[in-house]
Amino acid sequence: MRIKRDNVTLENLSEHLHYEFWMLGVALCFFLHPRSQQETNIAIESFGIHARVLVDFLFGKLGSQTDVLAIDFLDDEQSWLKLVDGKKTLYDYIRLRTGKEIAHLTTNRLNITPEKKEWDCEDVYKQINELFVEFLKYVPDERIGDKLIKLKNL
């Protein structure tokens, strides 16, 4: 059973959530307009890490007590979990790609062809953005800070 967090704590945590979402967009911009192969690599790694944080947040059901999950902000967590369960391919894709290609040095890297190394960051961003916007619809305003309220009201 998860610890119930009070609205002030959630509002404070929402600033960190905003940062992750914002940085995902920044990383996408760097990915789309690199000046060198090194910048492309940095952008992919940054994008992958922020995408991983966000999908773990959006799809998370358990996690440790210190992990912050979307369900922590919601009154109706079952409706949310049902919604994201239908989009599990995004979660699986990000977990696999970041786990085997960014966060861990594995023998799996030997089998990745140049074509398979390509990241469709624009599509991943679009999918995460859609879920994030949907998440904000579920969250009562008193649980999020001004930055996320502005995003919610766009």
Residue 129 belongs to a domain: yes
Residue 1 has pLDDT above 80, yes or no: no
Q: Which residue has the higher pLDDT, 104 or 42?
A: 42
Residue 93 belongs to a domain: yes
Cα–Cα distance measured from residue 154 to residue 67, given in angstroms and rounded to the nearest whole number: 28
Cα–Cα distance measured from residue 115 to residue 27, given in angstroms and rounded to the nearest whole number: 21
Residue 31 belongs to a domain: yes
Residue 112 belongs to a domain: yes
Cα–Cα distance measured from residue 132 to residue 103, given in angstroms and rounded to the nearest whole number: 24
By the 10 Å C-beta count (0-12 exposed, 13-18 middle, 19+ buried), 2 is classed as middle
Residue 98 has pLDDT above 90, yes or no: yes
Cα–Cα distance measured from residue 136 to residue 152, given in angstroms and rounded to the nearest whole number: 6
Residue 2 belongs to a domain: no
Residue 104 has pLDDT above 90, yes or no: no
Q: What is the mean pLDDT of residues 13-17?
A: 97
Confidence of residue 147 (pLDDT cuts 50, 70, 90): very high
The pLDDT, as a whole number, for residue 95 is 94
Q: Is 105 helix (H, G, I), strand (E, B) or coil?
A: coil
Residue 1 belongs to a domain: no
The pLDDT, as a whole number, for residue 106 is 84
Residue 39 belongs to a domain: yes
Cα–Cα distance measured from residue 62 to residue 43, given in angstroms and rounded to the nearest whole number: 29
Q: Which residue bears the tokens 């305003």?
A: 141
Q: Could you list the residue range(s) of the whole structural domain that residue 70 is in?
A: 7-152
Q: Is 123 helix (H, G, I), strand (E, B) or coil?
A: helix
What is the end-to-end Cα distance of the chain in Å, rounded?
34
Confidence of residue 63 (pLDDT cuts 50, 70, 90): confident
Number of domains the chain is built from: 1
